Structure 1
Amino acid sequence: MSVPTADLAAFKIPTVANEPMKSYTPGSAERAALETTLKEFRAQAPFDVPCIVNGKEVRTGIMEKQVMPHEHKTVLCNYHNADEALVAKAIDGALAAKQNWENTPFNDRAAIFLKAADLASTKYRYKIIAATMLGQGKNAWQAEIDSAAEMIDFWRFGAKFAEELYAVQPPQNSTGTWNRTEYRPLEGFVFAVSPFNFTAIGANLAGAPVLMGNVCVWKPAPAATYASYVVYQILKEAGLPDGVIQFIPGPAPEVVGQVLKHPEFAALHFTGSTHVFRKLWKDIANNIENYKSYPRIVGETGGKNFHMVHKTGNVKSVVNNTIRSAFEYQGQKCSACSRAYFPDNLWSELKTSLLETHGRIKQGSVEDFQNFVGPVINQFSFDKIKSYIEWAKTDTESEIIAGGTYDDSKGYFVQPTIIVTTNPKSRTMTEEIFGPVLTIYVYKADEYESTLDLVANSSAYALTGALFSQDRYATILGANKLRHAAGNFYINDKCTGAVVGQQPFGGGRASGTNDKAGSAAILSRFVSPRSIKESFVDLEDFIYPSNLV
């Protein structure tokens, strides 16, 4: 079937705004609805999740389980892994769907994502939140932020940013000519590899390139399989044609191997560990002669994010922001605060307040709405975080002042842990832990400038960071010194919580390519512009005026 490409108007995207957050306070309608959905999931689990290739469910029988991390003996879903043959079929199917999707006018592509956003905001809201809570160990507030608000914002603002990108046209036209630019999708297919910790990221890793007319092969993280499957269901109901996104859970070696050796591989859209991203980059480089074009590589990886406090910092604000940033979602955010630099003039007051506030943290099942902290994602993560805590207990330069315990008998629970070190380059100050562990270095308040240099240059990462100061000159100095230490920089606010349409997200150095998810910049990575010049006046002679005698 051929798809018409007539553009009969210059359409405008409806006005978009950030999705309003629901509060889930006791007695609220949304709390009751979410609790009902959680109970329904309990009764219905384990769910069966197939691969989706060319719009059809495929059950390979190569089974894996996604468990509930707060109760790891309970299976949320059994999912079918793709094998090499199915991956090859998925790639072929995506390429077969490419021409029709590329020829689909932008207003029709945008309409699908705008409808998906509305479906996620209403019909699917509690389903996607419950899937994220039970599958990825998020409390209700964190799941609302992620799988509802941020995912919806990605889809709505994506349409707006695409419209703005398409509107960027040459400002000049010589007499008798018309210059214009079109933003073609890439030749080939995009490979999206999404992480466990944000349902919204998976929705955007696949969604952003598809919005721009590309086709996508999507490998979701094993520990986010069910929520990712719900995302696919939303897009399907919104009208996404078969084959445009191929949903293929599967073991990384088989999936990645098939993708990266294919000559039509056009782009990688990745969020995950620095180690894996670097490995993928090397594998792409080693295959470069096999590709039709130079693949685009877009990735956001790890962080070792900081809170830097000036001697004028507001103690209460510093404490509350640091507790939230370090321990919300168990520190399993690439933006989470994991190192802090506190001045000695405030340390006594900060320490007292930190310990008092830490003592109010409740931890346990995500189904108990009183709990601020839940489980870490799996046994591997639990063991890794545990090893850092045990290391700190034996390190003569480190002191654990809060937390330091863990228990995986029922769920993967690690108590929020605060370490104070006298070595600003200790392991827990420099290595990414990806868990609820915060390390503090107390510096001399009159050594603010040199400590800024320390903060800026003691990490391989450069994702997020925050500066707390009530002194404007100190704030200016800090912002300048820390310019390249973070792609998202916060003044008197925590280093987590970037909002689509407000703070485009991404960092440099080992943290990724800093293409800024939630902006037009990242959409530009998935198009290949074509400049078009049309002349209305025929050329009468080839001779230059300067050739005349």
Structure 2
Amino acid sequence: MLRLKSSLLKLSRFTSARCMSSNLVNEPIYSFTPGSKERNEVQEALKIVESKTEDVPIVIGGEELWTNDVHYQVSPYNHKQRIAKFSYASADMINNAIENSISVRAEWDSKPLADRAQILFKAADIFANEKRSEILATTMAGQAKNVVQAEIDAGPELIDFFRFNAQYALDLEHQQPLNPDPNIVNSVKYRGLEGFVAAISPFNFTAIGGNLAGTPALMGNVVLWKPSDTAMLASWLVYKVLRECGLPPGVIQFIPADGSTFGNTITSSEHLAGINFTGSVPTFTKLWQQVGANLTKYKTFPRLAGECGGKNFHFVHSSADVDSVVNGTIRSAFEFGGQKCSACSRAYIPKSLWGKVKQGLVEKHKEIKLGNPDDFSIFLSAVIDKPSYERNKTYLDHAKASSNIEVLAGGNCDDSVGYFVQPTIVECKDPKDKMMQEEIFGPVLSCYVYDDADYKEILKLINSTSSYGLTGSVFSKDESVIEEASSVLRNSAGNFYINDKSTGSVVGQQWFGGSRKSGTNDKPGSPHYVLKWVSPQAVKRSKVPLKEWKYPSMK
């Protein structure tokens, strides 16, 4: 305990008000107004990122490596612009990374938690200050986010994940058992998992990559981090900063790799202790099946955490505020091109409000600007890559060909320079059309208009239409309707919003995650998340000799 207090004091120069998680404060979001210092810095940083192709290595045990299996990360809005060059690790290299990780695991796990936490506190402070413009620029150029979306993600959310999880971990260490008997000392040690954790991160949030790899490492684990090919440069910067802040070699291995090769290799290792995943349902399902098939070879039952997307809804009641519905739905459906796991993809609107809502959506749509991230007046840019573009195009073609669907706005796409998909609004006559049921992961909003009196049936329809259960919103001024909707839709959304859009969860405020096919709902951004990555050991120490073996009843 004395050692912990001493270590905590050392953190004071990196942070303030970190004694208790209740004192944590979210990192402020910059506004990037014309002429502001932060705007000028990001513009200059973006020019640098776009002007070169950075080499991104494989890193195993601190050694930077390359193979002949070379790939490039391109800017989605200009697919001729290469911003990163990287190579895929082979299966043998991944196995070497596993062995190297296991060799440093015990030493890392035995390091005081306060020392491990200090690395994340320092990294958060660096991203809040000297590296802020650079991490935003890599996210803008690599993932085609406008400056605001890049800021929300690679700025405050990444910073908050590091700071909050570090503090949550320190708070967890203080959670100890009862000690009612003065002759017995009860305690708990929060050990890392016995083996390695595989972190598989997505393209759409730089912050998620930092969290998936950084949090298990914080809790004493060794990690193999497979970053997304289409978020490689931003992930590499996060990794470099962690190393600069004192992360020892081998604790997190940086492993660009083919998805199948990586998945097959990690699930075949006897040392697999966990998978921390964000991505598609088919990929997570396959990983889970592989783990199940290999259970007998593992030294421990692996922990699996996964977040897999959603078909998120906005339910609008006749008592709803129309402006809130229109503005919230435009934001949720189209910011970052609908490529947020939480984006609104289906909306249910009563006939009595449809005229006003439709007019509002279409009018706002006319103001939306699609373009390159260096233009700070855009609302969205290109979708991430060719497969995403083709998937969106398939749904747009379906909408234009179907007699049950009316395209109200948008509907076109163009990949001649970048993977641009117009924000699109459609009205579906069939609430079971695939536009209303399937995750599109693009800037496409499907609307279904219902008779006002049928809202109870619509709530049941929303609950049964999709296999996902991530986010959803209810817009209503009627408290009885809100209460009813909350009950019927209890299992339809892990993040449930009332009179607000379905996106925009904030670390520490709206703990994020869903169930059903949306994932394991482990709630990153909450104090509970860090507990996923430890194996607690309960310790009982007796201060007096054990002098009797008989029960009192035997005398």
- Do both proteins adopt the same fold according to a TM-score greater than 0.5, normalized to the shorter chain? yes
| CA-CA distance at 1:191 after TM superposition | 0.3
Q: For 1:515 and 1:49, how far apart are their aligned partners in 2? A: 31
Match of 1:32 among 36, 40, 43: 40
| CA-CA distance at 1:9 after TM superposition | 4.5
Counterpart of 1:47, as a letter, is: E
**Do 1:65 and 1:77's aligned partners in 2 also have CA atoms closer than 8 Å?**
yes
Match of 2:29 among 5, 21, 32: 21
Equivalent residue, structure 2, for 1:124: 131
Q: For 2:4 and 2:333, how far apart are their aligned partners in 1? A: 50
Report matched runs for 1:140-539 at 5 Å: 140-539=147-546
**Do 1:120 and 1:148's aligned partners in 2 also have CA atoms closer than 8 Å?**
yes
Structure 1 unaligned blocks of 5 or more: none
**Do 2:114 and 2:170's aligned partners in 1 also have CA atoms closer than 8 Å?**
no
Alignment: residue pair count: 543
Q: For 1:185 and 1:8, how far apart are their aligned partners in 2? A: 21
Q: For 1:200 and 1:424, how far apart are their aligned partners in 2? A: 35
Q: For 1:84 and 1:508, how far apart are their aligned partners in 2? A: 32
Q: For 1:501 and 1:262, how far apart are their aligned partners in 2? A: 35
**Do 1:173 and 1:179's aligned partners in 2 also have CA atoms closer than 8 Å?**
no
| CA-CA distance at 1:171 after TM superposition | 2.7
Deviations 1:300-323 (A, max 9, x none): 002000000111111011100000
Q: For 1:261 and 1:167, how far apart are their aligned partners in 2? A: 36
Q: 1:445 to 1:101 in 2, by over 3 A?
A: same
| CA-CA distance at 1:8 after TM superposition | 6.3
Q: Residue 367 of structure 2 aligns to a residue in which SS?
A: coil
Counterpart of 1:180, as a letter, is: S
| CA-CA distance at 1:175 after TM superposition | 4.8
Larger deviation: 91-100 or 329-338? 91-100
| CA-CA distance at 1:174 after TM superposition | 3.3
Do residues 42 (structure 1) and 45 (structure 2) align? no
| CA-CA distance at 1:537 after TM superposition | 2.0
**Do 2:50 and 2:81's aligned partners in 1 also have CA atoms closer than 8 Å?**
no
Deviations 1:235-257 (A, max 9, x none): 01111111100001011122222
TM-score of the pair, normalised by structure 1? 0.97
Equivalent residue, structure 2, for 1:95: 102
Deviations 1:24-44 (A, max 9, x none): 11111111111111112223x
| CA-CA distance at 1:167 after TM superposition | 2.1
Q: For 1:148 and 1:353, how far apart are their aligned partners in 2? A: 32
Q: Residue 528 of structure 2 aligns to a residue in which SS?
A: helix
Deviations 1:277-336 (A, max 9, x none): 001000110011010000000000020000001111110111000000000000001100
| CA-CA distance at 1:7 after TM superposition | 4.9
| CA-CA distance at 1:16 after TM superposition | 2.9
Counterpart of 2:497, as a letter, is: Y
TM-score of the pair, normalised by structure 2? 0.96
Structure 2 unaligned blocks of 5 or more: 10-17
Q: Residue 524 of structure 1 aligns to a residue in which SS?
A: helix
Q: Residue 391 of structure 1 aligns to a residue in which SS?
A: helix
**Do 1:310 and 1:468's aligned partners in 2 also have CA atoms closer than 8 Å?**
yes
Q: For 2:479 and 2:522, how far apart are their aligned partners in 1? A: 30
Q: For 1:442 and 1:169, how far apart are their aligned partners in 2? A: 54
Q: 1:522 to 1:482 in 2, by over 3 A?
A: same
Counterpart of 1:276, as a letter, is: T
**Do 2:408 and 2:426's aligned partners in 1 also have CA atoms closer than 8 Å?**
yes
Q: Residue 96 of structure 2 aligns to a residue in which SS?
A: helix
Q: 1:28 to 1:8 in 2, by over 3 A?
A: closer
Q: For 1:477 and 1:150, how far apart are their aligned partners in 2? A: 33
Larger deviation: 348-357 or 518-527? 518-527
Deviations 1:86-136 (A, max 9, x none): 111111111111111101101100101000000111111111110000001
Q: For 1:137 and 1:8, how far apart are their aligned partners in 2? A: 44
Counterpart of 2:176, as a letter, is: Q
Q: For 2:529 and 2:349, how far apart are their aligned partners in 1? A: 35
Q: 1:10 to 1:224 in 2, by over 3 A?
A: closer
Larger deviation: 166-175 or 373-382? 166-175
Q: For 1:543 and 1:245, how far apart are their aligned partners in 2? A: 52
Deviations 1:35-58 (A, max 9, x none): 111112223x11111111111211
Larger deviation: 380-389 or 75-84? 75-84
Deviations 1:254-277 (A, max 9, x none): 222221111010000000001100
Q: For 2:111 and 2:429, how far apart are their aligned partners in 1? A: 60
Equivalent residue, structure 1, for 2:12: none
| CA-CA distance at 1:399 after TM superposition | 0.8
Q: Residue 374 of structure 1 aligns to a residue in which SS?
A: coil
Q: Residue 359 of structure 1 aligns to a residue in which SS?
A: helix
Larger deviation: 176-185 or 455-464? 176-185
**Do 2:27 and 2:159's aligned partners in 1 also have CA atoms closer than 8 Å?**
yes
Q: Residue 76 of structure 1 aligns to a residue in which SS?
A: strand
Counterpart of 1:348, as a letter, is: G
Q: For 1:438 and 1:140, how far apart are their aligned partners in 2? A: 23
**Do 2:139 and 2:206's aligned partners in 1 also have CA atoms closer than 8 Å?**
yes
Deviations 1:191-215 (A, max 9, x none): 0000000000000000110010101
Q: For 1:367 and 1:105, how far apart are their aligned partners in 2? A: 44
**Do 1:307 and 1:340's aligned partners in 2 also have CA atoms closer than 8 Å?**
yes
Q: For 1:454 and 1:8, how far apart are their aligned partners in 2? A: 54
| CA-CA distance at 1:10 after TM superposition | 7.8
| CA-CA distance at 1:179 after TM superposition | 1.2
Q: Residue 536 of structure 2 aligns to a residue in which SS?
A: strand
Identity %: 47
| CA-CA distance at 1:164 after TM superposition | 2.3
